[in-house]
Structure 1
Amino acid sequence: MSRRMLNDRQWLQIADLLPGKPTDKGGRAVDNRRFVEAVLFIARTGCPWRDLPKEFGNWHSTYVRFARWESGGVWARVAEALRDEADLEELFIDATIVRAHQHSAGALKKNGGDQAIGRSRGGLTTKIHACVDALGNPLRLILTGGQVADVTQGAALLADIPTTAVSADKGYDSDELVEKIESAEVLANIPPRSNRKTKRKVDWHRYKERHLVECFFNRLKQFRRIATRYDKLACRFSAFLHLACAYIWLL
């Protein structure tokens, strides 16, 4: 994975999705590519904003612009636009925990309530709930505190995404979730827990493909800014997630 550059093909796929026009003379739009690569550098290396190499420009101006684009929904729109070619034949859902650095705690109350950080004996953690398509590409992510059970976000991950089958591990074995999936005439390929008296049939051949969501998490955590959470605000951390997902779609 290149640490600093988008290749020309990748850049052309997203250039028209960004604020301003790449052909503008003057203004911020002309350096959109350098700016996006600067944010990618932060995401990949996990370094503090103050340590951004000078060739990317002033670190503070870059951070302010990153935050402004997050507030305007730019990062989310780019990731969403690249999902148009998703393979929805089958969906896979799962969740992964990332350690939250001590600097991620202490968000001011004026910034809202829950910042998706949980506290336990293991320390501060954030859980990333994910839904990926039949090729392992990301469709939807939800953030919660690390202590939140996977199954609580199952329905939200799948909402309004048409498919023929959903595969998930035993953590999603819930009568309510299974009934909701099957009510839409979708196969709920979820192994039953060992304490269930009535076992549900499972298509184990299809279930083998569930590794795709695990592979997605592995790719996601190549971005060190995501593998360890440093951001106090959930919205800022989500912006890095959107950027990482967009990059994965561009591969």
Structure 2
Amino acid sequence: MGRGDLTNTEWARLAPQLPKSGSPGGRWIAHRKVINGILFRMRTGVPWRDLPSRFGNWKTVYERHRRWSADGTWEAIYQAVLTDADTQGRIDWSMVSVDSTSCRAHQHAAGAPRRTSRVPQRRSMPWQHPPDEGLGRSRGGLTCKIHLAGEGGLRPLALLITPGQWGDSPQLIPVLERIRVKRTCCGHPRTRPHHLGGDKAYSSRRNRHYLRRRQIKHTIPEPKDQRSNRRRRGSRGGRPTGFDKQMYKRRNEVERTINHLKGFRAVATRYDKRAYVFHGDTAAAIRLWLRS
């Protein structure tokens, strides 16, 4: 076992969630070696062609990562790992915080051909991946943004990729709707935390109305301009928003979750052209859950 490879304990947690080959010598063989190669590339950020030979053929590692990103296998494994963690009581639902982080896009991430109706897609490319490939231009160049909801144990519950210039407030609802932790016995998936925390960027009447409708307690500070506008409108401006200083102190947990996630260099800097391949780097989030 090399440095950064899956330990026996981590592999014992992950192996039951992986797709089965169906027959001896079938399509998926040597799962552990290939996944270790994928994790090595995420941790170091090296080009796929420069993978060490101990992981096998680099193209086998890359193709499996790309196909699992396209057909939703990584997402299914991620949900299965969350279900297993929730069954064991390892998810802290008492406080879930939302935040975002910008990821600088490498020059190799640019130049993906635009999709048109006349050009057929590859069979393994998902139809739902965004046409803008999650890339946006800013003063620093091409960037993308990762929006996430993190629980109290410093691990992500949901991830969303958008272009770098997109704001945080409109992405609060899409991120929360991605939290769907299935139950092992019966019933609907768990989607609602006990408390939600966020910074001033998420303060809006639309977001607060959505959280009240879903009966989610929240601690989001109100910016000065919104507070003065509410006072100016008098009784039509509504009641002041509640704010719990003690609960807001726990918002640093999502910041630390981002630090752990961006410890993988292929996540901190985007090298993938396609958005669905970069979203497949949720394998880094899976690794964080396996370590706990």
* TM-score category of the 2 structures, normalised to the smaller one: over 0.9
Q: Equivalent residue for 2:101?
A: 96
Query: Which shifted more, 93-102 or 200-209?
Result: 200-209
**Aligned ranges 1:11-160 → 2 under 5 Å:** 11-20=11-20, 25-27=24-26, 29-84=28-83, 85=86, 86-110=91-115, 113-159=131-177
Contact kept, 8 Å, 1:3 with 1:40, in 2: the verdict is no
Question: What is the RMSD computed on CA atoms of the aligned residues?
Answer: 1.8
**Aligned ranges 1:236-247 → 2 under 5 Å:** 236-240=277-281, 242-247=282-287
Structure 1 position 212, deviation (Å): 0.7
Distance 2:33 2:200 in 1: 44
Contact kept, 8 Å, 2:21 with 2:27, in 1: the verdict is no
Counterpart of 1:61, as a letter, is: T
Runs of 4 or more, structure 1, over 3 Å off, are 24-30
Identity %: 38
Distance 1:26 1:228 in 2: 36
3-state SS of the aligned residue for 2:30?
A: helix
Q: Does 1:211 align with 2:252?
A: yes
Distance 1:145 1:201 in 2: 32
TM-score, with normalisation over the residues of structure 2?
0.80
Deviations 1:152-185 (A, max 9, x none): 1001112262122211000001111011101222
Contact kept, 8 Å, 2:172 with 2:207, in 1: the verdict is yes
Structure 1 position 95, deviation (Å): 0.4
Structure 1 gaps, min length 5: none
3-state SS of the aligned residue for 1:98?
A: strand
Deviations 1:191-212 (A, max 9, x none): 0102222553310101111111
Structure 2 gaps, min length 5: 116-120, 122-129, 180-190, 232-239
Counterpart of 1:172, as a letter, is: Y
Distance 1:216 1:247 in 2: 13
Q: Aligned residue pairs: how many?
A: 248
Q: Equivalent residue for 1:228?
A: 269
